[in-house]
Amino acid sequence: MSADYENYRSWYANLLPKLYPCRNAGFAILMVVFPLLERYLRQKNRLGPKDDPSDGCMDDLGNIFPALSDHRTARNFWNVYRHGILHQVTLSRQNRSGSTLPVGWLSHDKRVAILIESDGNFWVHPVLFSKKILQTIEEDFKTFEGTSAASTRLPTVKAQPKTKTTNVPGGQQVILGTSTDP
C-alpha cells in the first residue's frame, strides 16, 4: 500500500463516513469531496491546476453520475455546486458571465446521488454523492494519485522530532505539508 493511498484513506475516506449520520453536515461533506472529485477528473484528463475543466472532464463526470447526461447539464451542475460551495460556501445562481443557473438543493431524503427535476433544477444527496466519489477513486486510485507531467503531487507527511511543547505519542510531531520533494 502506497503512502499516498494510506494518507488518502486516513484523511478522507475513513473520515467522511463519520459525518454521514449528521444531517447538517451536507455542505461540509461536499466541501471535502468536490476537491477530491476535481483532482480525479483533472488527473484523468491530464489537466494542470490552471486549466479549466474540459469537455472530457464533463464526460467523465457524466460517466460517474449518469444523471449528468450532457455537457451543458454537467457544466451547470459543476457551476452550481462546485463553484458555489468552494468559492462562496453556498450554491451558485449565476455563472461567470452572469447567466442564471438552475437551482441547487441538498437533501438526505432523495434516493439517488443526483436528481434533476423536469425544470432542470438539481438535488444532491451529499452522502450518496460522497460515497460514489470515494468508490470511483478507490477503483482507480492510480489516476487520482497522478502520474502525468501535469500532476500536482499529493501532500506528504513529515515527522519532526518531539519538542517540549508537543505531546504526541511516539516522540514525533507530525506535520502535514505539500512538499514535492521525492
Beta-carbon neighbour count of residue 29 at 10 Å?
22
Per-residue pLDDT tens over the stretch 29-85: 999 999 999 999 999 999 988 899 999 999 999 999 999 999 999 999 999 999 999
> Rounded to whole angstroms, how far apart are CA atoms 2 and 45?
23
| Per-residue pLDDT at 112 | 98
| Per-residue pLDDT at 161 | 59
Q: State the helix-helix crossing angle for 55-64 and 26-44, rounded to 10 degrees.
A: 120
CB 77 within 8 A of CB 122: yes
Per-residue pLDDT tens over the stretch 83-106: 999 999 899 999 999 999 999 999
Per-residue pLDDT tens over the stretch 115-146: 999 999 999 999 999 999 999 999 999 999 98
> Rounded to whole angstroms, how far apart are CA atoms 40 and 57?
9
Query: 7: Cβ–Cβ under 8 A, 6 or more apart, which residues?
Result: 154, 155, 156, 157
Per-residue pLDDT tens over the stretch 134-182: 999 999 999 999 866 556 778 776 666 555 555 555 555 555 555 544 4
| Per-residue pLDDT at 182 | 46
Q: How far is CA 70 from CA 31, 66, 67, 75, in A?
A: 24, 9, 9, 9
> Rounded to whole angstroms, how far apart are CA atoms 113 and 127?
8
Chain-centroid distance of CA 143 in Å reads 14
CB 41 within 8 A of CB 60: yes
